[in-house]
Amino acid sequence: MSEKTIKVLPPPDPNPVKPKYTPPPRACDGHCHIFGPASRFPYAPDRRYTPQDAGRETLAALHRHLGLERAILVQASCHGTDNNAMLDALEWSKGRWRGVAMVKKDVTDLELTTLHEAGVRGVRFNFVRHLGGRPDVAAMHRVVATMAPLGWHVVLHMDAEDIAELTPLMRALPVPFIIDHMGRVEAKHGLDQKPFRHLLELM
């Protein structure tokens, strides 16, 4: 993929609003990303977008502003299966953060164990079209079977219109699963839209 086809994202809001709500002690951000810095942790050559650098210090500053003490770092697709930026942030957090990795389809037991020791507790799989489409499902099942003994979960990123079709796959998983980004369901279509009803049925 040429550089011209890669979407460049705007930087984070430099002045985020502080909520009136005060989170309780040890409140956790359940889904956030680390981006770069690219000079140290290059973005994947086949990425679909290029973010502005927003590394561990940027995220920590945002969490202090919001009153959040803990976090789950989800591997961003722009970094592909190179989890080094996330792993660096996990070590830097001194146990306050945990991670969800993206791994190659031939990931080994030793590689998963190493990730586990670093604080990773799950694997993410992208099904969304704008990020390249569905993974090799057979390979996904092999990865899930390999990681299951570690007590991990899977994070599934999918388009809203695919929730119903993928429901049998999700129900057959031998580990807990999370539907990423709330299934990308568009609120403007209301409570009776089929994707939202399917989400409720899965719950």
Domain boundaries in the chain? 1-102, 129-203
Asked whether the bond before 37 is cis by omega within 30 degrees of 0, the reply is yes
Contacts of 105 (CB under 8 A, 6+ apart): 135, 136, 139, 140, 142, 143
- Phi, psi angle pair for 48, to nearest 5°: -95, -10
Identify which of 115, 199, 188, 125 has the alpha carbon closest to the alpha carbon of residue 164. Answer: 199
pTM for this one?
Answer: 0.93
Q: What is the pLDDT of residue 133?
A: 84
- The residues facing 123 across adjacent strands are 101, 154
1: exposed, middle or buried (Cβ count in 10 Å: 0-12, 13-18, 19+): exposed
From CA 86, how far away is CA 75, in angstroms rounded? 7
Would you state the torsion angle of the CA atoms of residues 141, 80, 63, 178, taken in this order, to the nearest 10 degrees? -20
Identify which of 178, 183, 180 has the alpha carbon closest to the alpha carbon of residue 196. Answer: 183
Q: What is the pLDDT of residue 130?
A: 86
Identify which of 84, 45, 48, 13 has the alpha carbon closest to the alpha carbon of residue 157. Answer: 48
Q: Which two tokens stand for residue 183?
A: 């299934």
Q: Name the one residue in this structure whose structure tokens are 């164990």.
A: 113
| Per-residue tens of pLDDT for the chain, all 203 residues | 444 578 999 998 989 999 999 999 999 999 999 999 999 999 999 999 999 999 999 999 999 999 999 999 999 999 999 999 999 999 999 999 999 999 999 999 999 999 999 999 999 999 999 888 899 999 999 999 999 999 999 999 999 999 999 999 999 999 999 999 999 999 999 999 999 999 999 99
Question: The CATH number of 1-102 is which of 3.20.20.140, 3.40.190.10, 3.30.450.20, 1.10.1380.10?
Answer: 3.20.20.140
